[in-house]
Amino acid sequence: MTKIESELIRRWLNGWTVARCLPEAEPVGSTGDGLRSKCDQPGREVEVFALRADEEPESLARLATAVAAARQTTWLTVPTLRPETVEAVVGAAGLELLHRSEWFMTTDLTEHPQHAPAAPYEREVRTEGPVTVVSLHDSSGGVAARGTVAVVGADAIADRIETDAAHRRRGLGRAMMSALAETAVAQGARTGLLIASEEGQRLYSALGWRHEADVLIARGPVVPSNR
């Protein structure tokens, strides 16, 4: 494989915006270079997602130039099989590279390993529409781990998977991913998609998730908010 398919990126982004209750992403320009999501977070007001960075490097250069000139603080997220080329392009545009080691990953959820949380942890599942939040509680009722999954058609996008530092190395990551997969399959999902931090990559790989591409994230100039 010499590139990551733009349709796979679109599918992930569709679910990511649903998981975070964000508006549907909009095209950037008229050439199909990328999609734009309004995040409205301090220091991350807008995020642009490159769709054709490997297929057409010029498209990435156009996006990077636009991000550098944006009137709001804008991030540029680039799934790629050519990270060195991407790093050079975003650097030439004057963008600050924030993350260079994240992974775009997928899996067949119907074959996902099952792991129950060990005592004394208990699982809580809350579903509202297409979004499910799973929490693992300790014996005092505190949240030891939490994760979100959004189901869009046959896809399930996992997001914001976190384990409290005091509860790590107790199998909660495996239990969380198992719960998210089980919930998603029950809602009709078959394919799991996520972007993994460097810390999560070993866990997801051990659970059968496949690396599809590296993900580089850069940021344009920080623009003071008027709010």
**For the chain, which residues make up each domain, given as ranges?**
6-103+213-219, 107-211
Give the pLDDT band (50/70/90) at residue 2. Answer: confident
- pLDDT tens-digit readout, 11-27: 999 999 999 999 999 99
**Strands 155-163 and 191-196, bridge-based pairing:** parallel
Q: Tens digit of pLDDT for each residue in 68-111?
A: 999 999 999 999 999 999 999 999 999 999 998 999 999 999 99
Are residues 196 and 102 in contact, defined by beta-carbon separation less than 8 angstroms?
Answer: yes
Looking at domain 107-211, which of 3.30.360.10, 3.40.50.300, 3.30.479.30, 3.40.630.30 is its CATH number? 3.40.630.30
What's the confidence (pLDDT) of residue 11? 98
pLDDT score recorded for residue 224: 81
What CA–CA distances, in Å, run from 126 to 89, 121, 186, 223?
42, 16, 14, 37
Q: According to the model, what pLDDT value does residue 111 have? A: 97
Q: How far apart are alpha carbons 112 and 175 in whole angstroms?
A: 11
Residue 177: its pLDDT value, please? 98
Q: What is the pTM of this model?
A: 0.95
pLDDT at 1 over 70: no
pLDDT in tens, 153-202: 999 999 999 999 999 999 999 999 999 999 999 999 999 999 999 999 99
* pLDDT for res 226: 60
Q: Is residue 117 within 8 Å of residue 123, measured between CB atoms?
A: yes
Q: Mean pLDDT over all residues of the chain?
A: 95
C-alpha–C-alpha distance, residues 8 and 227, integer Å = 35
pLDDT of residue 227 exceeding 60? no
Asked whether the predicted pLDDT for residue 60 surpasses 80, the reply is: yes
